[in-house]
Amino acid sequence: MKTLLIHAKHFEYGVREKALDEAEPLSTENSSGEFSNALVVFTTVEKGDSSELREIVNSVADDVGKVVRNVGADVVVLYPYAHLSKNLADPGESLLVLESVELELRNRGLNVRRAPFGWYKEFKLECYGHPLSELSREFKAGEMRRARPIEKKYVVLLPTGELVEPNAYLEKGDDEELKILISKEVLKVELPGGEPEVSEACNKFGFEWEPMSDAGHMRYGPHATVMVEAVSSYAWDVARSLGIPVFRVRGTNMFNTKFRPIREHAELFGDRLYEVETDRGTHVLRYAACHQQFAMIKDWIISYRDLPFGVFEIADSYRYEQPGELQICFRLRKFLMPDLHIFTKDLREAVEYSKLVQRKIHEEMGKLGRRYVALYNVTEDFFREHFDYLLDFVRGDGRAALVAVLPPGAYYWVINVEYIIIDSLGKPAEIATFQIDVGNARRFGIAYTAEDGRESYPVIIHTAIIGSIERYIYAVMDTAVSMKKRGQPPTIPTWLAPIQVRIVPVSQKYLDYANEVLKHLVSAGIRVDLDDRDVSLAKKIRDAGIEWIPYCAVVGEREYATKTVNVRIRANNSQKAIKVEELVELVKKDVGSHTQVPQTTPHYLSRRPTLNYLSKL
């Protein structure tokens, strides 16, 4: 709804002719009017205003009442006026809202007159002209209440079941990574850092800010595109490896807050929301896959026999992070979330399958040679009534955890676990997560038929087992940076490397044989390129090292004669002459069961423009 408030010294109107077939009936009282010292409220009712009628009516009445008190008006004239918006409600909705506002103002003791709806009218107005005499307002249906800060109580839970105050653990605890987390999360200590080298590593592969977009939005060069697609494919494989039925879906990213479940869920999320105004009202850009999956699954017919099952989507997600918090591949305003929701019968089953998710989360980070420290956010009732479940989770981590206890009903979940690495700068970086949701099934109308025939609401596990696509890549890059700091060559997994093998001819004389090797590797499905530039061998090898290419296959006179390649293996800094078939087997063994996504660059370096991010190295 939009309003224009005029404090009028004199205002009069008279009906001329019908503007709508649905115009309300005229009477002696409403067909004309003449008023002095009036607050004239020109009012346009917009689509969706009746969806939250009580909220809209109260907001308008609060505002009008305040202005009446400030200007000392004797009468309020509600005047339907279709010219303040193009997003007009239909006649029935408009009249309902206008009548409701009129009634509410009368109930608050104000002297109110309302001009008839649906008629062309002439009017004369003489405005007082003081600072409060002309005011415009906008009231949004379903406008969200912002989440208020929630007080947390922190405690450290040891695998023995002992509870320790955070300050006491800082003095006597032996887990240095947990101490870092406590300092940052509980004491809000600004940890020492510096320019994150991991950002440079990400830039090396074409992860960059998009300067022509909003802050926090990235662009992905050819190498980065391979990595994003490879991790996206891998996230789907990980979800399916849990051993339960998993359905993959795809949806939209914008949802209307006029729908109560959308608005309530968004309100619980908090302030970091992108909002978009359209002709149908206020929308939020989703910050995970929840909205789409829940909107879809509420229409499924589900039996207890179907549970548990999972639903998965790579969801483009939007969070309005603060500018000072933004960091390439880690804290973004737009990112890709491989969201898995597991629907279970009840809390007991949700806990059981969350333990399966927990094991998989640790397994995946372990493949990078890293270990998680955990922050458990739990509601006070869950902490009190299900402490045994919480302790089982902490024991599953194999180390003490920080626990934040929140008031009951603060969120839609009862437990939300953040899995955190301590990065190469010594700062906590959340990567993976899971939570147990007891509220959204009922909120969105997702039900299943229980064994006794009753309608029941499932308990939902939310998880990103490997974290967001970009944060997983952040963990990979941070691991490589940590290797470099230890004096090792920084590497990334072969399945993730944009180029897995580079073929380097010693000179142009051996290009024909290099092409034979190239064709063999391409036919084997390996991402490979050939440095056919007329530059020195030293430069070619150096450039392959800059791109962290796992295998550099040099070919010269000896290799041509023996039909071999001289391979430099980055992971162990070794070098050996092997048959081309052996190189294929080496790469395939490294890749394992990971899906090989297609290459995104030409096979010949001479045909590849100098990529801007590589030119800076």
Closest CA to 426 of 171, 184, 157: 184
Cβ(462)–Cβ(339) under 8 Å? yes
Which CATH architecture does the domain made up of 501-615 adopt? 3-Layer(aba) Sandwich (3.40)
To the question of domain 153-477 being in CATH 3.30.930.10, the answer is yes
Q: What is the pLDDT of residues 134-158, one digit of tens each?
A: 778 888 755 545 445 678 999 999 9
Phi, psi of 526 (to 5 degrees): -95, 140
| Contacts of 476 by beta carbon, 8 Å cutoff, 6+ apart | 368, 492, 493, 496
**Amino acid at site 209:** W
The confidence score (pLDDT) of residue 196 equals 76
Task: Tell me whether residue 25 is exposed, middle or buried, using C-beta atoms within 10 angstroms of its C-beta: 0 to 12, 13 to 18, 19 or more.
Answer: exposed
Both tokens of 371, joined, read 């270990």
Which CATH architecture does the domain made up of 2-138 adopt? 3-Layer(bba) Sandwich (3.50)
Pairwise CA distance, residues 518 & 220, whole Å: 26
Pairwise CA distance, residues 161 & 226, whole Å: 45
Other C-beta atoms closer than 10 Å to the C-beta of 575 total 11
For 270-308, strand residue ranges (E) read 275-278, 281-285, 302-303
Cβ(492)–Cβ(476) under 8 Å? yes
Phi, psi of 539 (to 5 degrees): -65, -40
How do the domains of the chain map onto residue ranges? Answer: 2-138, 153-477, 501-615
Pairwise CA distance, residues 463 & 354, whole Å: 9
Alpha-carbon 90 to chain mean position: 35
| Contacts of 258 by beta carbon, 8 Å cutoff, 6+ apart | 48, 51, 52, 141, 142, 280, 281, 282
| Contacts of 328 by beta carbon, 8 Å cutoff, 6+ apart | 198, 199, 202, 203, 207, 208, 209, 218
Pairwise CA distance, residues 376 & 418, whole Å: 6
Closest CA to 291 of 268, 266, 309, 273: 266
Q: Cis before residue 308, ω within 30 degrees of 0?
A: yes
Pairwise CA distance, residues 504 & 234, whole Å: 30
Q: What is the pLDDT of residues 385-438, one digit of tens each?
A: 999 999 999 999 999 999 999 988 778 899 999 999 999 999 999 999 999 999
Pairwise CA distance, residues 397 & 11, whole Å: 73
DSSP-assigned letters across all residues of 485-531: HTTSPP---TTT-S-SEEEEESSGGGHHHHHHHHHHHHHTT--EEE-
The confidence score (pLDDT) of residue 18 equals 93
The confidence score (pLDDT) of residue 325 equals 82
The confidence score (pLDDT) of residue 503 equals 98
For 19-89, strand residue ranges (E) read 32-44, 75-80
The confidence score (pLDDT) of residue 343 equals 98
Pairwise CA distance, residues 383 & 402, whole Å: 13
Pairwise CA distance, residues 103 & 107, whole Å: 6
Cβ(460)–Cβ(342) under 8 Å? yes
Other C-beta atoms closer than 10 Å to the C-beta of 249 total 13
Degrees (nearest 5) of the Cα angle 421, 426, 430? 30
542-545: long-range contacts, CB 8 A cutoff, minimum separation 24: 544/502, 544/504, 544/568, 545/489, 545/570
Closest CA to 467 of 451, 478, 455: 478
Longest CA span, the chain: 108
Sheet containing 281-285, strands listed edge to edge, beginning at the edge strand earlier in sequence: 254-256, 281-285, 275-278
Closest CA to 68 of 78, 76, 60, 77: 76
Other C-beta atoms closer than 10 Å to the C-beta of 125 total 15
230 SS3 class: helix
Closest CA to 556 of 572, 526, 577, 582: 577
Residues of the chain with pLDDT under 70: 131-132, 141-149, 192-195, 269-271, 611-617
**Amino acid at site 150:** I
